[in-house]
Structure 1
Amino acid sequence: MTLETPHHKSRERSDDGLHRAVSEPPGGPRAWLVWGTAAAVYLLAMFHRNGMSAAALHAQERFDLGPALLSTLPVVQLAIYVLLQIPSGLLADRLGPRRSLVISLGVMAAGTILFALAPDARTAVAGRVLIGAGDSLVFLNVIRVAALWFPRRQYSLVSALTGLAGGLGQLVSAAPLSALLNGFGWEVSFLGAGAVNLLVGALVLLLVQDRPDGRRAPSHAFPSMRESLAEALSHRGPLVGMAAHAVIMVPFTVLGVLWGYPLLEEGYGLSARATGLLLTGAMVLPMALVPFLGRIPGSHPRARKPMALGLAWTVTLLWSGVVLWPGGLPPLPVAAAVILVSAFASVLAPSISFDYARDGLPEQRTGAASGLVNMSGFTSVMLGVVGAGILLDMGGDEASFQVAFVPMTLLCLTASTAMTVLLRRGRR
């Protein structure tokens, strides 16, 4: 039985400052249930995306890999994720959330099982490729659920809560996954994760609908990729969203994807347990504040710009301090504070980046813009992870970790500058 829910009229902000009347859904308990189920898929995807950090040293021993080769495992996964963002955005516009999320869970399950049973690095890479392909469909469809089920004024809040769900996935991929790997071993841990994919897929089939009125997404022809990209890039909002995502969520994601555990264990000499607790603790305070801060961009549009600029430049300047610290890595309390601020920025990134991505675009054509925003962020992550791996291979001491984060910091500086220029132009 489907629930019929009325739509209400509101006024939507565009990047040229104009407002137009649109018909939008009212939200409500049913919307939160549907979104919550979709968000569980994102939590699981983030677990898979960031699990290599806790598993890095295990994988290094299992497959006999050095730092540069080790970085290929998450980087190949991220490369597939990035390359598929635009096709995934167009597919999201066509298939709708329910079918897209089921497909993504099936593909991630296959990749996780292959990764669990991989006898060598080549097979492990194939598993990460499948995980990246499945992951590429997830986030765009979760925020599509937010756009289809909630009014625009709640969109930034729901996007922030989606980031919170991703943060929970990162939490599970840190200390809990490390404990599972140490207690039960490689195969049992990752086979269990593959089984969870299938269970969540059953929940999606049971609870998720594409729209409040129960209609499925229309199977219309794919829009031209060139036209979709040109439309998104012709508006300032998606460009600002791309720049924001390329800095605000990047540093903590680079740590979560691979280099957090090696930095703290090898760079600072912490135990695996202490490292897991530090990375887990870094997420707790930001996650607690998300329900309050995440609603600001939607409820107070004028606050969106200072939030974006403040987070971007804070993260950039803090990591500049890390890589320029005299004599090597800064003291552990300083590094812990930088990690905490980076986690705070990462959790809030979706509420800002994807709110900008919607400016000036009709709801049914936001997939390509969201794909561009996600692509920009994870391209920066991928380059940061690879750059760190190469520089660590060239070094061999504690100071190597300080040098390893130079590429990531330069990317953040570039993106922050670009966003500042775009927002200044918008005032003229």
Structure 2
Amino acid sequence: MSSTGDGESRRTVLSLVAAGNFAQLGARFLLSPVVPLVILQFDASESTVGLALTLMWATYALFQFPSGVLADRLGERRLLLTGLAGTAVGTTLIALSPSLVAYGLFAVVLGAGAGLFFSPASSLLSRTFENSGGALGALTAGGALAGVAYPAVGGFLGDTYGWRVAVAAGAAVAIPTLLATAVYLPTTTPANPQRRLAAAIDPSRVVGLLSRPSVAYTTLVAIAVSFTFQAFSSLFPTFLVQYRPGIDSPATAGLVFGAVFGLSSVAQPLAGRLSDRVSRDLAIGSSVALTATGFLLLLFVPGTVGLALGATVLGVGISWPGPVQARFMDQLSDEERGYGFGLVRTVYMFSAAPGSVVVGTLAQRAGWVPAYGVVVAILLACLATLLANELFSLEL
């Protein structure tokens, strides 16, 4: 399948992979609004639960590379189906966790299953659409829509029926999505069926790709924004309950969390199209600046005005995924997109995975201002590198 395929087929592919991203990312988002309930259930701390979530995200990151390699060899369709199946199994196991240790182990299972999905999905869209920024923005918007629906529903289910029922809702969505993908996603021809798996992890080839100046630069940018996303997606509802007066339940925090993602779901396709038509770095830089501003408003502007304004700016700001991923794809040939994109995603997501435990530990020991203050500092450093690339014509 390629960009020369008919429009209806391309729309089918885009709809299915966006729905799959909605399901696999939403299953993980369900864990965030019920963190306070899990802490009470297992008599745990923010840092301990943050560590469990970090392990999930780290596992998710580690599976990006092998999923990209296998997609090149076997075709994206098989990997997408396996990823959705793993998401359903992992979510079900978490809902049945008898202890915090089991919760952490099953979170790793969820991370592994979900980790098989995104790289093949991105590779498939890049092969299907000539201008991939908009398509990748729509893919990530599916994840952002998950951020609208899942936290609000999860918070309500958690308050009403308990956190286990809330988490189990992830499997209830992943299973029908898996079935629809199995029935309607066209068979995909592997991009490189002759690829030898041993050659794919050749150290010289790995180092060669990662050391390309433009790839290395984009990887640093991706680490910064991904660290921010880990800290936000894992702990933002807990931050709202503990720091913002007037928000005293997971359900209310889930509604605000969902509103942020609702705005993000609108902003992400727009950022993707902006990156196609004007500049990848302009789209990324605008997103980074708005995100930092949103965090500052939430930290330092009190009352309903501060909450509404901060959440709005933050939601519009979290629109970088499509432009960042399109920037990577610009650096990779058709033959290495599955392999190369999987590799860089593993590197930047694994590097950023400590966002949950770092911010959770800082919040527990020093408070939320230092915790999210670190996030703002990282975003400002990222913005400085983007400006330097433009001002000094580094052409990275």
Judge same fold: TM > 0.5, yes or no.
Answer: yes
Give the AA of the match of 1:357: F
Q: Is the 8 A contact 2:82 2:113 kept in 1?
A: yes
Aligned to 2:337: 366
**1: CA distance between counterparts of 2:168 and 2:254?**
21
Q: Larger radius of gyration, structure 1 or 2?
A: 1
Q: Which residue of 1 aligns with 2:34?
A: 55
Q: 1:122 aligns with which of 101, 122, 133?
A: 101
- What is the distance in 1 between the residues matched to 2:38 and 2:112? 21
SS in 2 for 1:25: coil
Deviation at 1:409, TM superposition (A): 2.8
Task: Describe the SS at the equivalent of 1:53.
Answer: coil
CA separation in 2, counterparts of 1:313 and 1:403?
19
Is residue 144 of structure 2 the alignment partner of residue 167 of structure 1?
yes
> Relative to 1, partners in 2 of residues 1:293 and 1:186: Cα closer, same or farther, differing over 3 Å?
closer
**What is the aligned partner in structure 2 of residue 355 from structure 1?**
326
Residue equivalent to 1:190: 167
Q: How does 1:288-303 map to 2 (within 5 A)?
A: 288-298=266-276, 300=277, 302-303=278-279
| Alignment TM-score, normalising by the size of structure 2 | 0.88
Q: 1:182 to 1:274 in 2, by over 3 A?
A: closer
Normalising by the residue count of structure 1, what TM-score does the alignment of the two structures yield? Answer: 0.82
Residues 310/162 of structure 1: CA separation in 2 closer, same or farther (3 Å cut): same
Which residue of the other structure, out of 196, 201, 223, is the alignment partner of 1:221? 196
Tell me the equivalent position of 2:260: 282
Alpha-carbon contact 1:106-1:198 (below 8 Å) kept: yes
Q: Give the stretch that moved more between structures: 85-94 or 283-292.
A: 283-292
Q: Distance in 1 between matches of 2:303 and 2:360?
A: 22
Q: 1:94 to 1:340 in 2, by over 3 A?
A: farther
Q: Which of 305, 312, 316 does residue 344 from structure 1 map onto? A: 316
Q: Which moved more, 1:128-137 or 1:99-108?
A: 99-108
How far is 1:117 from its partner? 0.9
Determine the C-alpha separation between the residues in 2 that align with 1:89 and 1:170: 25
> Contact 2:154/2:167 (CA < 8 Å) preserved in 1?
no
What displacement does 1:317 show? Answer: 5.4
Q: Tell me the CA shift for residue 377 of structure 1.
A: 4.9
Determine if contact 2:94/2:107 at 8 Å carries over to the other structure.
Answer: yes
After superposition, the Cα gap between the structure-2 partners of 1:360 and 1:401, relative to the gap in structure 1 and judged at 3 Å, is closer
C-alpha change, 1:322 and 1:178, in structure 2 (3 Å) is: closer
Q: Which residue of 1 aligns with 2:134?
A: 157
1:189 CA displacement: 3.4
> Does the aligned pair in 2 maintain the 1:381–1:408 contact within 8 Å?
no
CA contact (8 A) 1:252 1:342 kept: no
Query: How far apart are the structure 2 equivalents of 1:391 and 1:305?
Result: 31
Conserved 8 A contact 1:232-1:361? no
User: Secondary structure of 1:52's match?
Assistant: coil
Unaligned runs of 5+ in 2: none
Q: After TM superposition, give the deviation of residue 58 of structure 1 in Å.
A: 1.3
C-alpha displacement of 1:250: 4.6
- Computed over aligned residues only, the root mean square deviation of the Cα atoms, in angstroms, reads 2.8
1:216: Cα distance to partner?
8.5
Per-residue Cα deviation, 1:190-213 (whole angstroms, up to 9, x for no partner): 3342243232222221112353xx
Query: Per the alignment, do residues 425 and 371 of structure 1 end up closer, same or farther by CA in structure 2, a change over 3 Å counting?
Result: farther
Q: Distance in 1 between matches of 2:52 and 2:395?
A: 43
Distance 1:54 1:293 in 2: 27
Between 405-414 and 382-391, report the one with greater CA deviation: 405-414
Q: Percent identity?
A: 20
Q: Judge which range, 118-127 or 87-96, deviates more.
A: 87-96
Secondary structure of 2:85's aligned partner: helix
Return the letter of the residue paired with 2:354.
L
- Say if 1:231 and 1:116 are closer, same or farther in 2 by CA, change over 3 A: same
> 1:305-344 alignment to 2 at 5 Å?
305-316=281-292, 319=295, 325=300, 330-331=302-303, 333-344=305-316
Shift of 1:113: 1.6
Report what 1:251 is aligned to. 228
Partner of 2:44: 65
Match of 1:20 in 2: none
Alpha-carbon offset, residue 160 of structure 1: 0.6
Once residues 395 and 190 of structure 2 are traced to their aligned partners in structure 1, the CA distance between those partners, rounded to angstroms, is 41
Which residue is 2:394 aligned to?
426
Q: What count of residue pairs does the alignment treat as equivalent?
A: 391
Give the alignment of 1:254-269 within 5 angstroms.
Answer: 254-257=231-234, 259-269=235-245
Partner SS for 2:33: helix
Q: CA deviation at 1:35?
A: 2.1
Residues 15-66 of structure 1, C-alpha deviation per residue, up to 9 Å, x if partnerless? xxxxxxxxx4345111111221122111111112222211101111111111
